[in-house]
Amino acid sequence: MDYPTMHTCLQTLLSRRTIYQFKSTPVAQTILEQALEAATWAPNHGLTEPWHFYVIGRQTQQQLARLYARLRADKRADPGTEAWQEHFDRARERFEAFPRVVFVGQIKTDSPTQQQEDAAAVACAIHNLQLALWSKGVGCQWSTGPLIRAQETRQLLQVPDTVELVAVLYIGWPACMPKSKRTPWQEKTSFLP
């Protein structure tokens, strides 16, 4: 692959990796806002625009950090034990350190067909968002962990009953670049006569 001469959009697509560790350097508001705008330009059938983004401020992030830490510690140790407290403290510190946190909601519909198409549109929006960030050098981890299903999260974010939380995005400048792999596209493609 000839990366230096590749169109920058393709370069962004091919080089993007999920980022799990971030520098403490803040992400400028303009970068985040451009990425949110890019998200809203995702394709969506019938222009349902089935997304809502919840950009978390410091105070809410601290409240969420305690919830995130409790959910993680509960999964790994018995409450009241030293091990539980260690998991809790580590997880809380990790969550508080994320430079930016954005939750993504999908607006509910009674139509199963629209629900499926809207889910695809929201995934496109999330990917637009992370690619827009990546084009500026900013990384993202797309997570569907237990935090998005916790009732307390919905209360903290004041998510209405008409919206389902489908992702949380952890955003920041990459501290390291993980490796990933893919099956060669040729093995996933059939050319028909």
Ligand X SMILES: Cc1cc2nc3c(=O)[nH]c(=O)nc-3n(C[C@H](O)[C@H](O)[C@H](O)COP(=O)(O)O)c2cc1C
Interacting residues with ligand X (CB under 6 A): 17-18, 141-145, 180
Nearer to ligand X by Cβ, of 85 and 131: the residue is 131
SS3 (DSSP) at 41: coil
CB of 70 to ligand X, least distance (A): 18
Residues 6+ apart with CB under 8 A from 48: 107, 109, 114, 117, 118, 121
CB of 191 to ligand X, least distance (A): 25
CB of 142 to ligand X, least distance (A): 4
Q: Dump the DSSP string for 115-127.
A: HHHHHHHHHHHHH
Nearer to ligand X by Cβ, of 94 and 142: the residue is 142
Q: Is the dihedral of CA 149, 155, 156, 160 positive or negative?
A: positive
Nearer to ligand X by Cβ, of 46 and 145: the residue is 145
CB of 172 to ligand X, least distance (A): 14
SS3 (DSSP) at 111: coil
Q: Residue 147 and residue 72: Cα distance in Å, rounded?
A: 9
Nearer to ligand X by Cβ, of 12 and 85: the residue is 12
